[in-house]
Amino acid sequence: MRTGLAIPPGPELPPAPAEPALVIRDLTVTWGERPALISVDAAFPAGRLSAIIGPNGAGKSTLLKAVLGMVRPLSGRITVAGIPVARARDRIAYVPQRASVDWDFPVRVADVVEMGLWRRLGLLRRAGPAERARVAACLDRVGMAELAGRQIGRLSGGQQQRVFLARALVQEAELILLDEPFAGVDAATERAVIGVLKDLRAEGRTVIVVHHDLATVRDYFDHVLLLNRCSVAEGPVAQAFTADALQQTYGGRLPAAYLGQIGLGGQ
Amino acid sequence: MTGLADALMLGAGWNAALVTIGAALLGGAAGAVGSFLFLRGRALISDAIAHATLPGVGLAFLIMAGLGGDGRNLAGLMAGAAATALLGVLAVEAIGRRTRLTEDAAIGAALSVFFGAGLVILTVIQSLPAGRQAGLEGFLLGATAGMLLHEALIVAIGGAMAVAAVWALRRPMILAAFDPGFATATGWPVRRVDLAMLAVVLAITVIGLKIVGLVLIVALLIIPPAAARFWTERAVGMAAIAGALGAAAGWVGTAISATAPALPTGPIIVLTCAALFAVSLLVAPQRGALAALVRHRLMRRRVLQRQGLLAMARGVPAADPAARAVLRGEGLIDAAGQATAAGRAAAARLMRDEARRALLRRLRPDHPALQSDDGLTPIDALLATDEIADLDRRLMRGAGS
């Protein structure tokens, strides 16, 4: 098991390339007449771990879905490494929220991971020994190699999360998006997942996480976007993740004692 | 019975052999396609497609007869059936996408409206001089008696093409059913995949009209996949098994109906499907009802035995008579309810196991063995021998002090 918490974030990272990995300009998404995101601008640096933070209904998942082409924005431009996102689908990997999947579906763990290769294999090419080896390597990386033959519903929540992370790994994408990967998982899974994410960063990949646990933001992430339908603050965690910005994001509902607990008191 | 054996071996005549092979191919293709429809949770849309073929059959007959041709030309009737079935699917899709109605409501509306329109057109045809012998009502429940070679060939070729299409589309169809968000995110056109799947279902329905009829084709699309789900945990395997079950049902059902010409083919095929489903539901090894019952009984037995032994260790008889019956059955108590030597040994083993588990929980609450422990299996099965020895040493010391 990797112990990701032991890897300190920060100064030894190489400087981020000048061009951000993901740029969002003036993104507006509405559900019927109700705006979910209003003119959001954001630029996520390449080779960094970024968090999207905000209260329930702030549009965090909607932002990911817009990037992934799952919802059609009313307006806005999204580019991945300078390329319009519609032409960059093969550069993006995605780990969905656990609730979005039918767990009684007849697939085994290794089949789910293989799905990450299907786009490249196309309709007809069979998965050969090279593909199977890559699937096995990615399962091993998240500590799930022994359960490769298990039906997907017979796993714990944390194990399911790791399988979906392995599916994203097998895609070997430059940009990896995760929707609440730490929601409802055990501590061992949280350690394993953050360890893998930090390894991905060390390989120069860009990781963007919709995150709900304010207490771990400073340990896990380099860059943060505080979102509540509009972009409230964005930047390196040290500058953007402040008590003031959090109170704006959460509508002043965070108790001062809580902010003190997560190291943001006295401001 | 020789009649049935002959029919099964394709020995009941040229025509019956044709129909048998055609029905088997149709059943195989329908089972394979139906699996993906079933996994997508849209099995019932096939019923709307099937019922929406009827007005097309009638209209095609009227047009062909009106143009002075043979109104019964099968290819023409199938083209008409496909045209109105397509309208039916598009209606269901449009209602589902543009309104807040759920798909089942849209299916119910489209199904009954198209079927009603079809019945009106058939009644009109019946009143025409050319319409009396049209035999169009055979499309309702299937009529295979007078099947011609080229008609059987249409079924065979159409079925093979449908299977090929399903094979080619298996990956996007699995993704669209399992995780449509991921499918979209990785660039699969989910909506077009869904439409392609419905197109294959439509093709199967149209080529199956002549054999099982539009009322019952839905059974060939739904029952074999439902039966196959009992046997496998993989989507492609499920489609293969459903195809095999559908082909078997087509083959056997047609052979049975060939032995008694008064039996309609479609209903016999469907009943054969249902028999295969019932067998699957009962005897499938993992998901079957009997396996579940056996697992439940074994589990109950283990729980009761544990209760009984814990009571015995406390020196009282088990409160639950079922627990006493289990202990008696295992020879752990005698007829008077007194613990036997084997019973006392088993109770001692259980108490040692409980003590080890409690100690492990106190010393190493994060031990992986405790994660996978179910509280019934002896904990020593999950521990290394040196770990057990260490626990036992500590227990001995604890008892000594």
pLDDT for res B276: 95
What would the pLDDT profile of B202-246 be if each residue is shown by its tens digit? Answer: 999 998 888 888 888 999 999 999 999 999 999 999 999 999 999
Structure tokens at B396: 């001995």
Angle between the B265-283 and B289-313 helix axes, to the nearest 10 degrees?
20
Strands in A230-236's sheet, in edge-to-edge order, are A92-95, A175-179, A206-210, A49-53, A223-228, A230-236
HSE, CB side, 13 Å, CA atoms: give it for residue B19: 31
Q: For B228, which residue in chain A has the nearest alpha carbon?
A: A106
Confidence of residue B2 (pLDDT cuts 50, 70, 90): low
- Asked whether the beta carbons of A190 and A211 are under 8 A apart, the reply is no
Which of A216-220, B87-91, B129-133 is the least confident region?
B129-133
Q: Does B118 or A34 have the greater pLDDT score?
A: B118
What is residue B131's predicted lDDT score, i.e. its pLDDT?
A: 65
Helix (H, G, I), strand (E, B) or coil at A105: coil
Provide the ipTM: 0.84
Domain boundaries, chain B: 2-284, 290-400
Question: Between chains, do B185 and A90 touch, taking CB under 8 Å as contact?
Answer: no
Q: Please check the confidence at residue A131 and state whether its pLDDT lies above 50.
A: yes
Residues in A closer than 8 angstroms to B229, CB to CB, are: 106
pLDDT score recorded for residue B273: 93
Judged by CB atoms closer than 8 Å, whether chains meet at A70 and B185 is answered as yes
Strands A49-53 and A206-210: parallel
- pLDDT level of residue B120 (50, 70, 90 thresholds): very high
**Residue A255 has what pLDDT?**
85
Q: What pLDDT is recorded for position A209? A: 96
> For residues A109 and A163, is the Cβ–Cβ distance under 8 A?
yes
Please identify which residue in the block is written with the tokens 């009209």.
B209
CA distances from B166 to A32, B89, B251 (A): 36, 19, 21
How far is B181 from chain A, CA to nearest CA, in Å?
6
Residue corresponding to tokens 């049902």? B249
Helices (H), B260-288: 265-283
Residue type, A241: F
Best probe of the B interface among A70, A103, A164, by most B CBs < 10 A, is: A70
Q: How far is CA A22 from the centre of its chain?
A: 13
pLDDT above 90 covers what percent of chain A? 56
Chain B residues whose CB is inside 8 A of the A68 CB are 181, 184-185
Task: List pLDDT tens digits, range B8-63.
Answer: 777 767 777 878 888 898 999 999 999 999 999 998 999 999 999 999 999 999 99
B400 pLDDT exceeds 60? no
- Mutation target to probe the B interface, by most B beta carbons within 10 A, among A111, A126, A176, A208 is A111
Question: What pLDDT does B166 receive?
Answer: 92
**How far is it, in rounded angstroms, from Cα B305 to Cα B136?**
66
Give me the pLDDT at residue A267, please. Answer: 46
Per-residue pLDDT, A169: 94
Residues sharing a CB contact under 8 Å with residue B383, sequence separation 6 or more, in sequence order: B356, B360, B369, B391
Q: Is the pLDDT of residue A262 over 60?
A: yes
- pLDDT given at position B1: 53
**Predicted pLDDT at B365:** 81
CA nearest to B32, candidates B178, B265, B247, B277 = B247
Half-sphere exposure of B385 (CA within 13 A, CB side): 0
pLDDT at B156: 83
- Rounded-to-integer distance, Cα A35 and Cα A82, Å: 27
Where on the phi/psi map is residue B166: left (φ > 0), alpha (ψ -120 to 50), or beta? Answer: alpha
- Please say if the pLDDT value at position B187 is more than 80: yes
CATH classification for the domain delimited by B2-284, as one of 3.40.50.720, 2.30.30.40, 1.10.3470.10, 3.40.605.10: 1.10.3470.10
Nearest chain B CA: its distance from A19 CA (Å):
23
Considering only residues B383 and B240, tell me which one the structure prediction assigns the higher pLDDT.
B240
Q: What is the pLDDT of residues A28-40, one digit of tens each?
A: 999 888 889 999 9
How far, in Å, CA of A234 to CA of A74, rounded? 22
**What's CA B296's distance to the chain center, in Å?**
23
**Residue B133 pLDDT:** 65
pLDDT > 80? residue B117: yes
Residue written as token pair 């088997």:
B24
SS3 B216: coil
DSSP H or E run through A176? strand A175-179
The tally of CA atoms less than 13 A away on the side-chain side of residue B391 is 21
Best of B179, B234, B370 to disrupt the A interface by mutation (most A CBs within 10 Å)?
B179
What is d(CA B121, CA B114) in angstroms, rounded to the nearest whole number? 11
| pLDDT band with cut points at 50, 70 and 90 for residue B100 | confident
Q: Does domain A19-261 have CATH number 3.40.50.300?
A: yes
Higher per-residue pLDDT: A194 or B5: A194
- Mean pLDDT is lowest, of B63-72, B156-165, B255-264, for B255-264
Region B189-203: mean pLDDT is: 93
What is the model's pLDDT at position B132? 64
Q: Mark yes or no for CB contact B185/A94 under 8 Å.
A: yes
Band the pLDDT of A15: cuts 50, 70, 90.
confident
CA distances in angstroms from B77 to A17, B115, B149, listed in the order given: 65, 16, 17
For residue B43, give the nearest of B170, B264, B201, B231 by alpha carbon.
Answer: B201
Residue ranges of alpha helices (H) inside B99-169 are 103-127, 138-141, 149-168
Cα four-point dihedral sign A97, A100, A102, A108: negative
Q: How much is the mean pLDDT over chain A?
A: 88
Domains in chain A: boundaries: 19-261
Mean pLDDT of chain B: 87
Q: Which residues of A touch B227 (CB under 8 A)?
A: none
CB contact under 8 A, A107 and B172: no
A32 and B CB contact within 8 Å? no
Q: How confident is the model at residue B145 (pLDDT cuts 50, 70, 90)?
A: low
Which uninterrupted H or E stretch holds A49?
strand A49-53
Helix (H, G, I), strand (E, B) or coil at B7: helix
For the ranges A224-233, B66-75, B285-294, the lowest mean pLDDT is seen at: B66-75
Banded model confidence at residue A202, pLDDT cuts 50, 70, 90: very high
